[in-house]
Amino acid sequence: MAFINIEIKAKTDRHDEIREILESKNADFIGTDNQIDTYFKVNSGRLKIREGNIENQLIYYLRENTENPKQSDVILFKTDPGSSLKEILKQSVGILVVVEKRRDIYFIDNVKFHLDSVKGLGTFVEIEAIDTEGTIGKEKLSEQCNYYLDLLQIPHEDLISDSYSDLLILLSK
């Protein structure tokens, strides 16, 4: 499945406050997912296998590193836990970095919220306004993302441009 989303990521220690705001807006709590994202060495974009108790996918995406709401072009492929796909990719292209996190997942309509605790990095919030059908459009997705930035009272200075994988690579240098 291919789709676009507009997303932000911010450093925060306000998970409890954000959770209360989401619950006050009747957000659907999907659950808490303990995820291991294994990023592979590729020539363009990012390629990772996500292994969790809720989400298990091969994910390829293109995204600019910018603090403002940014577009991601995403292709997902559902995977089976324990399949040989991870080993095939590890042997053929090599592992770039592994990201381990605990993620609380919420939805309001087409907007997905992640409250993340990332091993070695700290706590974050992500907002993803998702258009799986190609009917919402980038402008509306950006509006949604900005609306929730304001609603959740996320200061602009807390926004980060890099992926967790990039941040972990920077820390290891």
- Token pair listed for 81: 């836990």
The CB density around residue 37, as the number of other CB atoms within 10 Å, is 22
**Hey, what domains does the chain have and what are their CATH numbers?**
2-172 (2.40.320.10)
Rounded Cα–Cα distance for residues 30 and 163 (Å)? 23
- Is residue 31 a contact partner of residue 102, using CB atoms and an 8 Å limit? no
Q: Determine the 3-state secondary structure of 137 from DSSP.
A: coil
Q: CA-based Rg of the chain, rounded to a whole angstrom?
A: 16
The owner of tokens 């997902």 is 76
Rounded Cα–Cα distance for residues 52 and 105 (Å)? 12
Closest CA to 116 of 108, 127, 104: 104
Rounded Cα–Cα distance for residues 87 and 96 (Å)? 14
Supply the pLDDT for residue 70: 84
In order along its 173 residues, the chain shows pLDDT tens digits of 778 899 999 999 999 999 999 999 999 999 999 999 999 999 999 999 999 999 999 999 988 777 778 888 899 999 998 889 999 999 999 999 999 999 999 999 999 999 999 999 999 999 999 998 888 989 999 999 999 999 999 999 999 989 999 999 999 88
Q: Determine the 3-state secondary structure of 2 from DSSP.
A: strand
Sign of the dihedral defined by the CA atoms of residues 107, 110, 115, 117, in that order:
positive
Supply the pLDDT for residue 123: 98
- Is residue 102 a contact partner of residue 34, using CB atoms and an 8 Å limit? yes
**pTM reported for the whole predicted model:** 0.92
Rounded Cα–Cα distance for residues 93 and 99 (Å)? 18
DSSP state of 158: G
